[in-house]
């Protein structure tokens, strides 16, 4: 009996040892990926990683981090953007002391790696004349055409940066702070801080490790700051802000009006209101309106100030929405132009 038990123990020891060794299998699979990357026709010149037009944080950070990953694997790769980055992305890059990639206006004749898209209309100009080496994405497959062999990795996860996080793991390249922070920022940007319906367990796992590496102590506050940057309209002049979500409405019971919607936050709400009021006379003249209105929504505290300008605008706005003070009518909640403002103001005009 005792000998049998010893034999059993010995057997299970060998079995354990064997299983422990066979755990190496995933690494061998990843070696295949590395060999496939090595088989690409890299050419002599620099290859560029680039996200979609109107670049967002995921498109930009994925390009920066994937270019770094490729460089760590020994390839001559740099990141580019197809246009100016938005204020949220600028905030993120600034936070992690990372330079904004150079703008690329024409990709023709170049070797390109696409991130965060595979749709031709979203791609940098000249993509038809470029050589696409790789596509790294988390969307459905788009209309990009490439005649030569290429490497594609797309996963059904919350962000392209999640895909790239797992590539760092697969290729055993160490994730160092600036890149970990950029991957994390893109992940929370695309998933509403890990709350969107597109968030997967792979995203949540990546989030935990990236958060630990990023040096961010209060992720909710950091995410709030990202959102604040997105609605700061920094670098835009007052007319540009006014026109960014402006619509004309003609002949509402004989009146031609213009209405804009602007989002604000508690720290810039009054400033935005003052700036919008200042440009309303010019907007009225330029667009041939009888009256113009601005719906300024504080998305943080969830209230709305309605601003008005033009002959009869004050009376119309007051009878629709209540008493004004300092050229504003304060309404609780976040007002919708389509569902709240237009029906009520139309009713007032009809009564006249
Ligand atoms: Mn995107
Ligand atoms: Mn994305």
Ligand 1 midpoint to CA 51 (Å): 8
Ligand 2 midpoint to CA 118 (Å): 11
Among the residue ranges 79-88, 231-240, 306-315, the one predicted with the least confidence is: 231-240
- Cα–Cα dist 39/151, whole Å: 10
Q: b/e for 258-279, b at 16 or more Cβ within 10 A?
A: bbbbbbbbeebbeebbebbbeb
332-338-343-345 Cα dihedral, nearest 10 degrees: 70
Beta-bridge partners for 305: 296, 330
Report, as an integer, the average pLDDT of 95-118: 97
Ligand 2 midpoint to CA 58 (Å): 5
Ligand 1 midpoint to CA 224 (Å): 19
Ligand 1 midpoint to CA 185 (Å): 13
Per DSSP, the three-state class of 248 is strand
Q: How much is the pLDDT for 204?
A: 98
Ligand 1 midpoint to CA 130 (Å): 21
Give the number of whichever ligand sits closest to the CA of residue 196: 2
pLDDT, tens digit, 9 for 90 and up, residues 249-286: 888 899 999 999 888 888 889 999 999 999 999 999 99
Q: Residue 41, class by beta-carbon neighbours within 10 Å (0-12 exposed, 13-18 middle, 19+ buried)? A: exposed
Calculate what percentage of the chain has a pLDDT beyond 70. 91
- Computed over every residue of the chain, the mean pLDDT equals 90
Task: Judge whether residue 332 has pLDDT over 60.
Answer: yes
pLDDT, tens digit, 9 for 90 and up, residues 33-63: 999 999 999 999 999 999 998 889 999 999 9
- Cα–Cα dist 331/13, whole Å: 73
Q: How much is the pLDDT for 39?
A: 97
Q: How much is the pLDDT for 150?
A: 97
- Cα–Cα dist 344/295, whole Å: 13
Q: Taking a C-beta distance cutoff of 8 angstroms, is the pair 262, 295 a contact?
A: yes
Strand 131-137 and strand 111-115: pairing?
parallel
Q: How much is the pLDDT for 17?
A: 54
Q: What is the pTM of this model?
A: 0.70
Taking the alpha carbons at both ends of the chain, their separation in whole angstroms is 104
Ligand 2 midpoint to CA 35 (Å): 27
Task: Judge whether residue 352 has pLDDT over 80.
Answer: no
């Amino acid at each position: 009996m005792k000998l049998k038990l010893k034999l059993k123990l010995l057997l299970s020891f060998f079995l354990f040892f064997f299983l422990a060794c066979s755990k190496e299998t995933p690494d061998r699979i990843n070696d295949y990926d590395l060999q496939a990357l090595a088989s690409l026709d890299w050419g002599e010149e620099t290859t560029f990683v680039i996200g979609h037009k109107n670049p967002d944080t995921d498109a930009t950070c994925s390009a920066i981090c994937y270019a770094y990953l490729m460089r760590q694997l020994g390839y001559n790769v740099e990141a580019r953007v197809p246009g100016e980055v938005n204020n949220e992305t600028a905030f993120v890059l600034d936070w992690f002391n990372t330079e904004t990639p150079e703008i690329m206006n024409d990709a023709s004749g170049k070797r390109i790696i696409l991130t965060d898209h595979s749709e031709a209309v979203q791609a940098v100009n000249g993509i038809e004349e470029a050589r696409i080496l790789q596509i790294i994405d988390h969307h459905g497959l788009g209309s990009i055409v490439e005649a030569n062999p290429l490497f594609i990795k797309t996963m059904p996860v919350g962000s392209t940066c999640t895909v790239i996080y797992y590539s760092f793991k697969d290729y055993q390249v160490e994730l160092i702070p600036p890149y970990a922070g950029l991957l994390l920022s893109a992940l929370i940007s695309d998933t509403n801080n890990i709350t969107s319906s597109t968030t997967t367990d792979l995203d949540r796992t990546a989030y935990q490790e990236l958060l630990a590496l990023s040096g961010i102590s209060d992720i909710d506050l950091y995410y709030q700051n990202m959102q604040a940057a997105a609605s700061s309209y920094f670098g835009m002049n007052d007319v540009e802000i006014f026109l960014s979500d402006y619509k004309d409405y003609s002949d509402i019971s004989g009146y031609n009006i213009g209405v804009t919607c602007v989002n604000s936050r508690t720290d810039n709400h009054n400033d935005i209101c003052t700036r919008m009021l200042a440009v309303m006379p010019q907007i009225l003249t330029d667009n041939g309106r009888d009256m113009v209105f601005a719906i300024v929504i504080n998305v943080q505290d969830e209230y709305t100030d309605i601003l008005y300008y033009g002959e009869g605008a004050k009376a119309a706005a007051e009878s629709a929405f209540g008493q004004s003070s300092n050229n504003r009518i304060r309404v609780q909640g976040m007002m919708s132009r389509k569902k709240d403002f237009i029906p009520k103001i139309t009713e007032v005009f009809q009564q006249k």
